[in-house]
Amino acid sequence: MKKPFVAGNWKMNTDSNSSVELGKCIASASLEAAGHDVTVAVCPPFVYLQAVARALSASSVAVGAQDIYYEPKGAFTGEISASMLKDIGCTYCLCGHSERRHVIGETDELINKKVAAGIGGGLLPILCVGELRAEREASQTNEVVTRQMKNGLAGLSAEKVSAVTIAYEPVWAIGTGLTATPQQAQEVHDFIRKLLGQMYDGRLAEEIRILYGGSVKPDNAADLMGQRDIDGALVGGASLKADDFLAIIQAAV
Ligand code: 13P
């Protein structure tokens, strides 16, 4: 049985005090009770990562970055490498979040380099995939997800890919209050798992955790995570409220 995984993506929110406070509230007694049965991570903005990582170092809550750059070091103004993230206590890194794809303009090729660099640097990448509303309406969901998965994982061996978590985040459900129904989400998760089986092998496909993201809240988390192929959640807005995030973690157990 896979351990469920709940990660909070704080996006461009919090400040130096509230980030550490939020981290500490999440690493509370109620989480410690659930901490053996569920993997929990938070992804603060880069500037607060080290402070949050320090505050959580004795807890079961891991810390992830919202992005990385693929070069190890050098003249890349404004960028952050995998080794820097590792150095300050990061475990995970998001790669290809829809806001980076569609607001910043990241390509599958760039995202693939980031996933590879994350694994190479000892991080555990969370590769985000998902279709736009127009793509769903044009029945292109499977095609889009296939392209993002194949390009995002291009050139990586099964062994390397075993370090990756997939997050299915339909773009039309992110920050909109619209959630994919558990059935809609399960359909795509099942598709992604079968795709991984074709790309690698059935064992790897079963072992990889596939998270759902897109307006996950305390009141829909249990139904979503109760689906066969939904192994956890990548939570945006609701991860900024400790009580809501803890309720979602409890729903995963
Ligand atoms: P919301 O939960 O705010 O919809 O955001 C989802 C998300 O983008 C997590 O990465």
> Looking at residue 215, which CATH number applies to its domain?
3.20.20.70
* Range list of β-strands (E), the chain: 5-9, 39-43, 61-65, 92-95, 124-129, 165-168, 210-213, 232-235
**Do 49 and 63 form a contact (C-beta atoms < 8 A)?**
yes
**Do 177 and 219 form a contact (C-beta atoms < 8 A)?**
no
Q: What pLDDT, in 10s, does the model give residues 13-22?
A: 999 999 999 9
pLDDT at 179: 84
Task: Give the residue-averaged pLDDT of 77-82.
Answer: 98
With 90 as the cut, is the pLDDT of residue 32 above it? Answer: no
Residues in the chain: 253
Task: Give the residue-averaged pLDDT of 27-53.
Answer: 87
Helix axis angle, 108-120 to 141-152, nearest 10° = 40
pLDDT at 176: 84
Please tell me the distance from the alpha carbon of residue 152 to that of residue 195, in angstroms, as a whole number: 13
Please tell me the distance from the alpha carbon of residue 82 to that of residue 69, in angstroms, as a whole number: 7
How remote is the CA of residue 8 from the centroid of ligand 1, in Å? 8
For the CA atoms of the chain, what is the radius of gyration?
A: 17
Q: What pLDDT, in 10s, does the model give residues 199-221?
A: 999 999 999 999 999 999 999 99
- Atom 7, ligand 1: residue with shortest CA distance: 236
Q: What pLDDT, in 10s, does the model give residues 125-178?
A: 999 999 999 999 999 999 999 999 999 999 999 999 999 999 999 999 998 878
pLDDT at 29: 64
pLDDT band for position 195 (50/70/90)?
Answer: very high
Q: Which residue among 67, 172, 216, 239 has the greatest number of ligand 1 atoms within 8 angstroms of its CB, and so is best to mutate? A: 216
pLDDT at 34: 65
Could you tell me which of 136, 215, 211 has the C-alpha nearest to residue 175? 215
Catalytic status, residue 169: yes
Upper half-sphere CA count for residue 111 (Cβ side, 13 Å) = 29
Please tell me the distance from the alpha carbon of residue 111 to that of residue 25, in angstroms, as a whole number: 32
Please tell me whether the overall predicted TM-score, pTM, comes out greater than 0.85 for this model: yes
- Atom 1, ligand 1: residue with shortest CA distance: 236
User: Is there an atom of ligand 1 within 6 Å of 121 CB?
Assistant: no
pLDDT at 35: 59
Please tell me the distance from the alpha carbon of residue 248 to that of residue 253, in angstroms, as a whole number: 9
pLDDT at 160: 98
With 80 as the cut, is the pLDDT of residue 184 above it? Answer: yes
Q: Is 81 helix (H, G, I), strand (E, B) or coil?
A: strand
Task: Give the residue-averaged pLDDT of 54-67.
Answer: 96
Counting the structural domains of the chain, the total is 1
- Atom 2, ligand 1: residue with shortest CA distance: 236
With 90 as the cut, is the pLDDT of residue 30 above it? Answer: no
Task: Give the residue-averaged pLDDT of 91-115.
Answer: 98
Residue-range definition of the domain harbouring residue 103: 5-251
Question: Which of 36, 97, 99, 106 is flagged as catalytic?
Answer: 97
CA 109 to chain centre: 19
Please tell me the distance from the alpha carbon of residue 113 to that of residue 234, in angstroms, as a whole number: 22
User: Is there an atom of ligand 1 within 6 Å of 244 CB?
Assistant: no
User: Is there an atom of ligand 1 within 6 Å of 66 CB?
Assistant: no
Q: What pLDDT, in 10s, does the model give residues 42-51?
A: 999 999 999 9
Task: Give the residue-averaged pLDDT of 120-129.
Answer: 98
CA 206 to chain centre: 18
User: Is there an atom of ligand 1 within 6 Å of 248 CB?
Assistant: no
